[in-house]
């Protein structure tokens, strides 16, 4: 579903990510881990078409995110770290607006209803976004990512700032969504990756430190520290 | 859990294709699923997941012994993701 090759992004003289090569199979839930400043958000922005790479390529569903940007973006539901919501709009109104922007002309109401249900925000559909709790706002952001029924969800720290109950609820939601979507999420919470993800990509100082099935990544470390002679 | 096997010199199949050899070994052991098989020098590390309680581990070890494979270690997967993360990044509680 996602394939990157030597993906690199520089900001002036600073290299944010360098030569990232990894792939994410269709239908998997993949955790993206790295210390602050490792390049996670930069990578996700490049995948989502928000930021052009300096060099290298990224393909989503076989489409290059630069040369075939519009088609690639139709495959992606992107939830950035700070969800850009309109506080003066009501939830349903906002999602309908977002659906229109994403080109949903037919059955828009049904698409909005579906997103409201999937993201568990149907009960606040008529409320002003500005009056919602942080957890609800995050889920409205997720509903936005879902409204056009993209096969790939890219979520940048979706549980940041949520309380433990909200995190558990969000985690359950991700598991459900994983049945129909490929999900690539960055997070600060490793238990979240262990609970939800099948695969992991670990990035450090702009480079891939490890990538693969969760158990394989763990096993490599175990093997390195406990080989018998 | 991680099973460290020593295929010994006469087990050429393990050197040529450890994944296929491991799959043939684990297939049929009730309650176990092979997750990966990787060569580690002269050893092969199997990562298996137990899907139910019972004698699956004993069955696997017995099968290894019958097949003439050396069993160097059988251990739970001790490497939590957090430990892996810290080992790889040197980060302190910050993912």
Q: Mind listing the pLDDT tens digit for each residue in A31-54? A: 999 988 899 999 999 999 999 999
Q: Which of A34, A209, A219 sits opposite B77 (nearest CB)?
A: A219
The number of beta carbons lying within 10 Å of the beta carbon of residue A82 is 10
Please name each of the domains of chain A with its CATH number: 1-75+151-229 (3.40.50.300), 84-149 (no CATH)
Q: What is the ipTM of this complex?
A: 0.75
Q: What is the pLDDT of residues A81-95, one digit of tens each?
A: 888 889 999 999 999
Q: What is the pLDDT of residue B39?
A: 84
A209 contacts in B (CB within 8 Å)? 88-89
Separation CA B33–CA B53 (nearest Å): 13
| pLDDT, averaged across chain A | 89
B38 vs A: CB within 8 A: yes
B94 contacts in A (CB within 8 Å)? 35-36, 188
pTM for the model stands at 0.71
Q: How far off is chain A from B22, nearest CA to CA, in Å?
A: 15
End-to-end CA separation in angstroms for chain A = 41
The number of beta carbons lying within 10 Å of the beta carbon of residue A14 is 8
Q: Is A131 exposed, middle or buried (0-12, 13-18, 19+ CB in 10 A)?
A: exposed
Output the CATH code of domain B2-89.
Answer: 3.30.70
Note whether A210 contacts B84, CB cutoff 8 Å. Answer: yes
- Domain range summary for chain B, segments of one domain joined by +: 2-89
């Amino acid at each position: 579903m996602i394939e990157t090759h030597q993906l690199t992004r520089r900001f002036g003289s600073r290299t944010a990510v360098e030569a990232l090569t990894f792939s994410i199979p269709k239908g998997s839930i993949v955790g993206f881990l790295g210390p602050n400043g490792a390049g996670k958000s930069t990578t996700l922005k490049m995948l989502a078409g928000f930021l052009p790479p300096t060099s290298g390529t990224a393909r989503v569903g076989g489409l290059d995110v630069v040369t075939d940007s519009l088609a690639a973006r139709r495959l992606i539901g992107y939830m950035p770290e700070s969800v850009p919501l309109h506080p003066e709009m009501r939830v349903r109104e906002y999602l309908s607006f977002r659906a229109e922007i994403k080109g949903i002309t037919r059955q828009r109401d049904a698409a909005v209803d579906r997103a409201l249900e999937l993201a568990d925000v149907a009960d606040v559909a008529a409320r002003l976004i500005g009056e919602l709790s942080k957890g609800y706002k995050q889920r409205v952001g997720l509903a936005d990512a879902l409204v056009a029924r993209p096969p790939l969800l890219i979520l940048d720290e979706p549980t940041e700032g949520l309380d433990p109950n909200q995190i558990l609820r969000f985690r359950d939601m991700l598991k459900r969504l994983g049945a129909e979507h490929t999900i690539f999420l960055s997070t600060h919470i490793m238990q979240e990756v262990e609970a939800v993800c099948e695969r992991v990509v670990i990035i450090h100082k702009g480079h891939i430190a490890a990538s693969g099935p969760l158990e394989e990544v763990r096993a490599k470390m175990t093997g390195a520290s406990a080989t018998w002679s | 859990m991680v099973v460290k096997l020593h295929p010994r010199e006469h087990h050429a199949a393990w050197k040529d294709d450890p994944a296929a050899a491991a799959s043939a070994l684990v297939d049929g052991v009730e309650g176990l699923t092979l997750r990966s098989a990787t060569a580690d020098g002269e050893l092969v590390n199997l990562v298996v997941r137990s899907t139910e309680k019972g004698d699956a581990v004993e069955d696997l070890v017995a099968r290894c012994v019958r097949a003439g494979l050396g069993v160097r270690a059988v251990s739970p997967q001790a490497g939590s993701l957090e430990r892996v993360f810290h080992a790889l990044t040197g980060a302190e509680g910050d993912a």
